[in-house]
Structure 1
Amino acid sequence: MTRNKILLKPLIYIMLLIGVITQGIGLSMSSITKYEYQASESAPLYFPMQIISGALYYHDGSGSLYVPNMTVFAGGWGDWRSSHVLDSDGSPLPNKLKLTFYSYMEDQFYQGEFELPLERIEALFKNKHYSFVDEEEITFDKFIVGTTPDGGVSVWLNAIERRIEVFHGQADKIQGDWKWVIDSPEVDRDDYIKEVIEYEQRSPEQLAFYNENGIPYGKWKAYSKARYIWKPVLNGIKFRDDVIKHIHYYNGEKDYLNIPLSDDYKGKALAVPDEINLIWNRTGYLINDLSIDVFFDEVEIFSAFDVLGKDNKSIEMEFRMEPDKNYDFTIWLSNDKNSIELKKTKIKTWKPGGMRYENAGPKDTE
């Protein structure tokens, strides 16, 4: 009897220890913050890509979220396509991406495994931002995984008015199986690729441009790296609510900017914009507002930023309106010494409902 008691004591201690460890693990798992988000795919305009398989792996090792696959996409860099309904209980944030994808323009498979910046992702999810659409503080609700013809991979966090790039990396070329793309022996590979490319080029003119110029290798990596310290300033014009409510960047990001910049953006390096929408508050009354769509010329604006932003110099993007010159509207980039007018910028104007209120104001450009 005494011997049995002696033997039982170590077993009791072991069982108690296991219980403590298990309880600790349970508490640790239950304390992990979960968020409601989806995953989607993206590819550059005119350059069809297809994700073969992909998954975002949760940082706690509890599982993964699949990236939508098997759909040809070339809708615009950063813009997403698929949206799949998920468990409303939420998921831990991911810290790893595994991806296999196919580039139609190159007839090439790629594969990569990437570590994602979990600390930054967590900070962005926790730091809610105001939504003009929802009229409340919101956080991100989607991970977008983008792929490019040269094997580039980007990951963005997406919300209604805000999309932030958190990662850009390079996948490796691999020898893939054509059945991964389309498992149909009666479909000729070359014919299918040609058909997809011609469809996604959208027009004979764009197809001719591609045939002449080819794939701009390294372009999307350069977009990701190009950041400058710049801010918008107004001269002779007032924006509705003192904000640029839509700005789209070459690296696939989108956002809105307060004027003057909010504390979160002061002194922060921003990507190069390719499109901005402004609401010109002409008289103080909403009925007289005029929407101005600004489309920058890629070569011109990158050259201007490169010249003026050397040595991390701060740049101002000036929106200049001159009423005494029939409301001549121009856009300038300036540092503390030099200024460059963005003369190749295209302008489109419209009123809510699609009508111009009066002739005064910026003139549309072709």
Structure 2
Amino acid sequence: MRKRNDIDKIFLLLFMLMSIISSCQELKMSEKKYIWSGALVAPREYPVEIYDGALISEDYTYRFGPIYGIIQQGWSVQSKGMGSPDEPVALPDELQMTWYAIQEEKFYTGKWKLDKQQLTTIWEEGAVDVRTQKKDDFKTFIVGLAPEGRLALWADGQRQVLLAMFQAHDTTITQETAHEDFEHFFRKEYRDAAYKPQKLYGDELYATLEGQGWPKPQLYMEYNKKYAWKFAVEGIKIGPKDYFFYQCFNGERDMPLNTDSANTNLPKAIPEHVYVKWADGDKKYGVADVKFKYEILKKAFEEFEPTEKIDLLFEIDPSANVLNTYLRSSSKKIKIVGYEPALVRVDN
């Protein structure tokens, strides 16, 4: 009897194992796939060179390498991928990256697992294109390489969303151990020419860096701090089809319609560039456009309590062509200065 019970248990375990395998296979077969590519960014002040890297899914690998050259477009910019698969593929579940930080004179490397459920949720969510009123898919994974081995990963499309931050560790790559595509790095004549400060940064930026010093490496983490702010406008009439745009210092970006559901006090990072576009007559539109300086706007946000709901207020006087901006809560109103405002008319 005991032998028969043991056999029954074995059959039961085998049945359960086969069921699990079958369920996994069905899930794998039913997983939705997408067309996506990868791109790279780095701060202008902290340029990098790519040794190698990859975004890896179960059926596709998007590779990064020395062909990208020196990366330094800026931290909060959009970046286009270099090609994409011909057919939809699974979203990546692993990121690998090895790079050389030019200003720090150091190699960094790392390998990280990605949150597949998070990626799938965001990819399915997409974003509404305010001009067409249609849902638009995300298209690109942007990898950002910051000083001290920090790495950011964004999803980019109609909006740009910060998915995660990672920490790499330093490593050593020598001329003897490097792969052949990176051999140029070890040629003195290449580095003397490519790393010449005026060529690397440009005369104006280099003069600023020489005078004020390089931004503190922690800045690219500080950019991620968020506040409960939304847009508000006074002086003009904003309709339900009018919209706002914001791009934050941490790279996140969106373009919400002027509706309660889209323009809310959700926590967002400090904005670098914002504008509002509104109907101003028959096929005529107005645009109020502002670019902020980080330290000035950060100081203003810090005047409010961490949980306080804040309006980023545009006060617009079209007749006098005047635009002023404020941070406003139920307790105080602070005028923002030290920015580049623009108030213009456009035809579409």
Both proteins in one fold, TM over 0.5:
yes
Aligned match of 2:37 = 38
* Mapped partners of 1:300, 1:139: distance in 2: 35
Distance of aligned partners of 1:17 and 1:118 in 2 relative to their CA distance in 1, 3 Å threshold: closer
Q: CA contact under 8 A between 1:249 and 1:273: conserved in structure 2?
A: yes
CA distance in 2, matches of 1:320, 1:29: 53
Counterpart of 2:62, as a letter, is L
Give, in whole Å, the separation in 2 of the partners of 1:177 and 1:133: 51
Matches within 5 A, 1:100-115: 100-115=98-113
- CA-CA distance at 1:332 after TM superposition: 0.6
Deviation at 1:23, TM superposition (A): 5.7
Deviation at 1:119, TM superposition (A): 2.5
- Contact persistence 2:109–2:169 (CA under 8 A): yes
Matches within 5 A, 1:283-362: 284-287=281-284, 289-308=285-304, 310-322=305-317, 326-352=320-346
Structure 2, unpaired ranges of 5+: 1-14
CA shift, 1:91, in A, is 1.7
Matched, 1:216 2:216: yes
Query: 1: distance between equivalents of 2:347 and 2:257?
Result: 25
How big is the shift at 1:25? Answer: 5.2
Question: 2:155 — aligned with what?
Answer: 157
Supply the distance in 1 between the matched residues of 2:259 and 2:23 (Cα, whole angstroms): 49
> 1:183-202 alignment to 2 at 5 Å?
183-184=183-184, 186-188=187-189, 190-192=191-193, 194-195=195-196, 197-202=197-202
Alignment of 1:257 onto 2:256? yes
Deviation at 1:46, TM superposition (A): 4.0
The C-alpha deviation readout for 1:77-116, integer Å capped at 9, x for no partner, is: 1435452333333222223211111111112111122233
Tell me the SS of whatever aligns to 1:286. coil
Contact kept, 8 Å, 2:159 with 2:253, in 1: the verdict is yes
Q: For the structure 1 residues 164 and 327, does the alpha-carbon distance in structure 2 shift closer, same or farther, using more than 3 Å as the test?
A: same
Cα distance, 1:27–1:249 mapped onto 2, change above 3 Å: same
- SS of 1:312's equivalent? coil
Q: What is the distance in 2 between the residues matched to 1:316 and 1:24?
A: 49
**Per-residue deviation, 1:65:** 2.8
Deviation, structure 1 residue 267: 4.0
Asked if structure 1 preserves the Cα contact closer than 8 Å seen for 2:45 and 2:215, the reply is: no
Counterpart in the other structure of 1:177: 174
Q: Unaligned 5+ residue runs, structure 1? A: 1-15, 355-366
Question: In the alignment, what sits opposite 1:7?
Answer: none
SS at match of 2:302: helix
**2: distance between equivalents of 1:87 and 1:164?**
22
Q: Is the 8 A contact 1:35 1:92 kept in 2?
A: yes
The Cα shift of 1:322 comes to 3.8
2:44 is the alignment partner of 1:53: no
Q: CA deviation at 1:69?
A: 4.6
* Amino acid corresponding to residue 255 of structure 1 in structure 2: D
- Measured against aligned partners, the alpha-carbon deviations of 1:161-181 in whole angstroms (never above 9, x if no partner) come to 211111112211222236568
Q: Check conservation: 2:265, 2:310, Cα contact below 8 A.
A: no
The CA distance in 1 between the partners of 2:117 and 2:20, in whole Å, is: 27
Figure out how many residues of one structure are paired with residues of the other and give that number.
331
Indicate whether 1:231 and 2:227 are aligned: no
Asked whether the 8 Å contact 1:41–1:68 carries over to 2, the reply is: no
CA shift for structure 1 position 193: 5.0
Are the structure 2 counterparts of residues 304 and 19 from structure 1 closer, same or farther at C-alpha, using a change threshold of 3 Å?
Answer: closer
Measure the CA separation in 2 of the matches of 1:18 and 1:269.
45
1:276 has 2:271 as partner: no
Asked if 1 retains the 8 angstrom alpha-carbon contact of 2:283 and 2:347, the reply is: no
Match of 1:118 in 2: 116
Indicate conservation of the 8 Å contact 2:228/2:265, yes or no. yes
Q: Is the 8 A contact 1:54 1:69 kept in 2?
A: no
Match of 1:3 in 2: none
CA 1:318/1:97 → structure 2, altered by over 3 Å: closer, same or farther?
A: same
CA contact (8 A) 2:42 2:74 kept: yes
**What's the % identity of the aligned pairs?**
19
* Residue identity matched to 1:126: E
Partner of 2:6: none
CA shift at 1:186, angstroms?
A: 4.5
Mapping for residues 66-77 of structure 1, pairs under 5 Å:
66-67=63-64, 69-71=66-68, 72-77=70-75
What TM-score comes out, normalization by structure 1 length? 0.79
8 A Cα contact 1:245 1:256, kept in partner: yes
Write the distance in 1 (CA, Å) between the matches of 2:19 and 2:308. Answer: 57
- Counterpart amino acid of 1:253? E
* Superposed displacement of residue 52, structure 1: 1.6
Distance 1:291 1:327 in 2: 11
* Pairwise CA distance, 1:328: 2.9
Local SS of the residue matching 2:144: strand
1:327–1:348 CA distance, 2 compared to 1 (3 A): closer
Does the CA contact (< 8 Å) of 2:234 and 2:316 recur in 1?
Answer: yes
Following superposition, the deviation at residue 158 of structure 1 comes to 0.5
